[in-house]
Amino acid sequence: MSLIWQPELYKVGEILEDVLNHSPKGPKHFYIMSAYVNSNGVKRLEPVLQKFKRDGGKVYAMVGIGQKRTSKQGLQEILKVSDEAWVFHNNYLERTFHLKVYTLEQLGKSATVIVGSSNLTGGGLDTNYEVSAKIEFDLRSPKEAKEFNYLKQMFQSYKSDAGDDNKPLCSKLDDSLIRRLEAEGLLDDEDSKKSNIKISSRGGTIFGSKAFPSRKPIEKLGWILVHTEFDSSKELRDRLDECYNGDKKWGWRLGHPLKPREESYIVLFECNRDGKIVADGRVKVLSEKPPDSPYNFSFSLEEVNCPTVTVKLQQISDRRPNQGGLMLLREDELSSYIQNAYKDSKPPKYLSDVFGVD
């Protein structure tokens, strides 16, 4: 990874020009995610983008229109140079689409990501005080390919996002959309001497509004990996079947006790011997613990599911809990598990509800 300190030492526009100019011919994609866009920013890259496309590349863009900082002319220019482009906007004022990410992917070989504070504007690429990080990925490495694919999935997920009122948060860019946005006063006009960059009170009738709950600390998310002591996946499955079809209770000797709470915990059950995640489920931690009990705590199995695709812990995480212990799962780890374990089937509702996955 290297830092781009603009404008003191480098300029993001120059770095992007260099990256695009020196990309080999063949299948390749360039992804743009920018909060704000103006014509100067797009025209700054237009010559290299056209060459990139002639050499076999595809250009995909997703831009925001928050605070009326994106211009009509900027959208017109991005439409010219992109194979596909989208506009993302959430009507909630405190939910601004504020990403600045530029990604070049040589399919199956390598990728370069520049992420930081630089919008696709003349100032963002050249003259503003900005800082960005340039990150290289070797896509022939399974670990690095997995990390990069997580970034691509983020781009794709925004395209289908919708508000609480079921209106889209993302619309495909075309001339008609530009006219509608302009008519509702959501775009800056570079040709007007009275160009207005004041914050718009709402996003009009085109985009929906979506409220988000406050982000919980990881220990409060309730996503747990249970690292069992069984010697085989079959033994673990048999134990889960026995408990789930019996009194549904399972006592746990090791690990820090889980605290009872109103919501269920989402749990992944992993076998110690082969490192395979055999099942997932919902559990309730029981508050009662008899004084003579050998267990730290116990939980009841509310739901248990064994997916047809078995996932190893090392596929979703570079961490490993102590034998017989528990591990609090991060968002990327649970997301990766769902994508791998249910790539050929529909995940159970308690998992699909976490990320809104169908």
Evaluate whether 302 touches 277 at the Cβ level (below 8 Å): no
Residue 280 CB-density burial (10 A; 0-12 exposed, 13-18 middle, 19+ buried)? buried
Helices marked H in 184-306: 218-221, 233-244
Retrieve residue 182's tokens: 């302009």
Retrieve residue 153's tokens: 């999935």
Residue 337 pLDDT = 92
Contacts of 79 (CB under 8 A, 6+ apart): 85, 173, 174, 175, 178
Domains 2-183 and 218-355 share a fold: no
Among 132, 139, 135, smallest CA distance to 113 is for 135
Q: What is the pLDDT along the chain (358 residues), one digit of tens a residue?
A: 888 888 877 789 989 998 998 888 889 999 999 999 999 999 999 999 999 999 999 999 999 999 899 999 999 999 999 999 999 999 987 789 999 999 999 999 999 999 999 999 999 998 889 999 999 999 999 999 999 999 899 899 999 898 888 899 999 999 999 999 999 999 999 987 444 444 444 556 787 766 544 444 455 668 888 888 788 889 999 999 998 888 888 877 665 567 777 888 999 999 877 889 999 999 988 866 656 667 777 888 999 999 989 999 989 887 776 555 788 888 778 888 998 999 888 899 999 887 654 4
Calculate the alpha carbon distances from 139 to 112, 128, 147, 150 in Å: 10, 32, 9, 12
Residue 204 pLDDT = 63
Answer CATH for 218-355 from 1.10.3470, 3.30.110, 3.10.590, 1.10.10: 3.10.590
- Phi then psi for residue 115, to 5 deg, are -130, 135
Residue 65 pLDDT = 96
Evaluate whether 59 touches 49 at the Cβ level (below 8 Å): yes
Residue 39 CB-density burial (10 A; 0-12 exposed, 13-18 middle, 19+ buried)? buried
Evaluate whether 224 touches 107 at the Cβ level (below 8 Å): no
Q: What is the CATH number of domain 2-183?
A: 3.30.870.10
Evaluate whether 146 touches 137 at the Cβ level (below 8 Å): no
3-class SS at 117?
coil
Domain ranges, ordered by start, for the chain: 2-183, 218-355
Classify residue 109 by its DSSP letter: T
Calculate the alpha carbon distances from 245 to 74, 249, 274, 300 in Å: 61, 10, 25, 11
Residue 6 pLDDT = 87
CA atoms within 13 A on the CB side of 48: 17
In the chain, DSSP assigns E strands to: 2-6, 28-34, 57-64, 84-88, 100-106, 110-116, 130-138, 170-172, 223-227, 249-252, 265-270, 276-286, 297-305, 311-312, 326-328
Measured distance CA(327)–CA(251) in Å, rounded: 17
